[in-house]
Every structure is written in structure tokens, then in C-alpha cells.
Amino acid sequence: MERKGLLIVGCGKMGGAVLRGCLKNGLKAEDVRVVEPSAEIRAALSKKGIEAAETPAAFAGFSPEVVFSAVKPFKIADVVDSFKPFTDKGAVLLTIVAGKPLSFYEAHLGAAAIVRAMPNTPAAVGEGITGAVASKAVSAQQKQAVGEILRACGEVVWVDDEAKIDGITAVSGSGPAYVFFLTEALAAAAEKLGFDRESAERLAKATVCGSAALMKQSADSPARLRENVTTPNGTTAAALDILMNDKNGFVPLMTEAVKAAERRSKELGKA
């Protein structure tokens, strides 16, 4: 990546998170170019020694190893053709645009090397996970370069079947929202027990964050960790009797929620 550099198209929340992760992992500012419509963001990047412009055409003489597209889905049709001068020179396109399959890019870029990926928002703090699939034109070296970029923000899971990206979107792409809502619900339950809102939220957030940290550091499975907290006929068991109900408990509800997200991801891909 350091040899030929990185071109980022769209430096909002996710693009900015990837950029920060790459710089932290050793990528030099002079090896990065950024395409970003926001003058404010461009000015901030300039102060860090990173060249930024409004359009990819401004970097016609730049030959990046990776072009990273983090534009909004409704904008991709307007900018995808501008990637071709770079992919024609051997750059691999890494795209995190939701709902656009590899075939969409191949229709515009020909037999280019393309990686379609679905990250999640914890990438902003280096704790994300990204699912990725590569087109047939992607070489082992290009896949490694893309992997280095994605790992700068967390873990990476490669899949061979592009259809699985919809499942990844439903589980980990949308998953942080499920966890945040769980935290909201736990805080709301604490309020029902008489706690003020600030205390209820502190209890809920610390519990979720602490449990997540323990789960990440422990070699035990989530099921084993749950069992470690649960004393037979105790308070946790009483709560789990409700949450683990086979008909209307947490598992069937979560399963339906994830299936709904997957269906919507497929619908967006066909739109």
C-alpha cells in the first residue's frame, strides 16, 4: 500500500475512520489522496498534509494501489465512471457502498479488480468487523492490500459467495444498532425500577460495554459466559426464562429482525 498509495473517495464517518486507521498503522500522509465535496473536511485534511480535491479528475497523475469508495449509495452512479482511469492502470477498487453488487461496477469499469465490503460503525474506534468478497479479477497481492486497509479498523471476514454480503449486512453491518437498542431497552427497564435517567443509562452502558470487553478477551463462548453468570433458580435465571422463551423470546425475535434486514439488503441490491 505504501508503494503506490491510497485514493479515498468520500471521507465522511466511514472513510475518515479507515483513513485514521491506515495512518495509525503506518501509511504516510503523502501517499494518500482524498476526494471529498466538503470544503471543511478538505481543509482539515490539508492541515494533516493530505492532498484533497472535489473530484477524482484532480488526481489524474496519481496511481494508487487501492481506490476506496465510501460515497453514499445515491451518489455512486454519478462517480463510478471516474474510477476507470485508476482501475485501468491496475488499481483495485474497494467499495463499501450498500446495495451495489460487483456486476454494477463491472458494467462501468469492465474487467477491473473489485472488492465489495460491508464494514460496521465500530470501525470508527478500531473495533469493527468487515465482510468482503472479491471479484475474479482481484489478485492475491491486491486482496492482501485491501485486507491491510480493512484490518486497520478491526477484523475482516472474506466470503466466496457475494450473496452472503446481504447476511453480513444484516448481522454485523446493522448489528451495532441492535446492541444500541438493547442498551436503550435495559436503561428504560432500569427507569421503571425507579432509577433516574442518567443513572439508568450509566448502568446500562457500563453493563453492555463491560460485557462486550469480557466476551472479546475471554476464550469462552458467549453461551458459556452466560452460564457463568446464571445461578440456578437465581435472579438471572428468572430473567432468562423470559428472554429465552422459544416462542416469543429474544432468539425468535432477533432471528426475524435479522431476516428482515437481509431481505431489505437484497431489495436494495435490485433497486
> Which helix (H) or strand (E) segment is 130 a member of?
strand 128-134
What's the distance, CA 55 to chain centroid? 24
What's the distance, CA 77 to chain centroid? 21
pLDDT of 147 reads: 96
pLDDT of 266 reads: 87
**Please, what CATH class does the domain formed by 6-165 belong to?**
alpha beta
pLDDT of 90 reads: 94
Quick check: helix, strand or coil at residue 133? strand
pLDDT of 223 reads: 98
Q: Rounded to an integer, what distance in angstroms lies between the CA atom of residue 95 and that of residue 54?
A: 18
Residue ranges per structural domain of the chain? 6-165, 175-270
**Please, what CATH class does the domain formed by 175-270 belong to?**
mainly alpha
Quick check: helix, strand or coil at residue 100? coil
pLDDT of 2 reads: 44
Mean pLDDT of each 10-residue bin along the chain, 271 residues long: 78 92 92 96 96 95 95 92 96 92 95 96 93 97 95 95 94 97 98 98 98 97 98 97 96 97 88 70
pLDDT of 3 reads: 47
- Tell me, yes or no, if the two domains 6-165 and 175-270 fold the same way: no
CB of 168 within 8 A of CB of 159?
A: yes
Amino acid at 209: C
Instruction: From residue 10, give the alpha-carbon distance in Å to each of 71, 224, 242.
Output: 5, 42, 45
> Which helix (H) or strand (E) segment is 251 a member of?
helix 250-270
